[in-house]
Amino acid sequence: MYLCKVSSSSAKIDIRNLSIDSLKQHFIDMGQPAFRAKQVYDWLWAKSCTNFDEMSNVPKLLRENLKNVYLINNIKIDQSQFSTDRTIKNTFKLYDGNIIEGVLIPATERMTACVSSQVGCSLTCKFCATGYMERKRNLNPDEIYDQVVLIDKQAKENYLIPLTNIVYMGMGEPLLNYANVLKSIERITAEDGLNMAAKRITVSTAGIAKMIKKLGDDQVRFNLALSLHAANDEKRNKIMPINEQNSLKALAEALKYYFSKTKNPLTYEYIVFDDFNDSLQDAIELAQFCKHIPCKVNIIEYNPISFANFQNAAIDKIEIFADYLKKQGITTNIRRSRGKDIDAACGQLAVKEK
């Protein structure tokens, strides 16, 4: 259960913050039959309706009453940028004027939405543009859901293909917005929601040990990815301050617990920075860390940002690094950047001040 947002100007309740049971009770209190709540709930979550007037099987008088009591704080696309590689970056405006970004990443066999979970970020990772922003607030479940709906519509309109995958790899740390992220996934995967498969969803974390354990306790069905970037505490501390409170030992223990509860293999995301974490010794340390639980490694091309001095490692060093991991029996993929020309690639999302 999470608190309703109330508009300061109208004192109306955002109807999407009500559970189906709460909505039924509200309708009963209004003198309406409970089945009307199910109709409205279906419009909100299965049909992604953001306008009471479009709820055609709801009596007009009731629709007018709903508008007097409730509102729908849906997000809107403020701007879209199109990359030469067909990636589309969206700037979304929230109901309170805050801005976030989300990306459509098209590929041959999949259409992926990269969504944000917070306005800004508090983790201050040294290589990530979002980390240089102030964290203003968490996103509500409906605001995350709306990103998926709008990007899915964009995929259909531009490429005639619906979304196949969702990654929580945009702005913010998902596990610091735990309840709302899980509620958004529940609405995205529910039969009376968007009905997408949980295995098509990946949540990426910078590594918060106690919350990884909570994912295990909740026996989540979606995929988990850990932004590792160094399997050495000294190096990881330099680029990811979160590691100072969540050491590699603590993360390893949390991941073992998570796997024991879910049996879900993990994905490690590893950006290879030039002359920082691209040596054979770094690969050896990563391979050792990979022994804790079944996993795969995605080696990610670094996308330089104006705030930091990191550079992407040379392609031959990346390939040597990947080959070593493969020889150790670790499934390893090298991921090429998408949308770099519009600042939509990994680590580049940041709302620019106007």
Q: Cα(42)–Cα(337) distance, rounded to whole angstroms? A: 38
In the structure encoding, which two tokens stand for residue 150, read together? Answer: 């709008």
- Could you confirm whether 295 is annotated as catalytic? no
| Residue tagged active-site, from 64, 101, 125, 157 | 101
- Could you confirm whether 101 is annotated as catalytic? yes
| Residue tagged active-site, from 114, 121, 290, 346 | 346
Q: What is the largest CA-CA distance in the chain?
A: 70
CA neighbours closer than 13 Å in the CB half-sphere of residue 198: 16
Chain centroid to CA 154: how far? 18
Neighbours of 80 (CB within 10 A): 15
In the structure encoding, which two tokens stand for residue 45, read together? Answer: 């979550």
Residue 62 CB partners (closer than 8 Å, separation 6+): 32, 36
For residue 15, give the amino acid letter: I
Residue 201 CB partners (closer than 8 Å, separation 6+): 165, 166, 167, 168, 185, 188, 189, 222, 223
**309 dihedral zone (left: phi>0; alpha: psi -120 to 50; beta):** alpha
Residues with active-site annotation: 101, 346
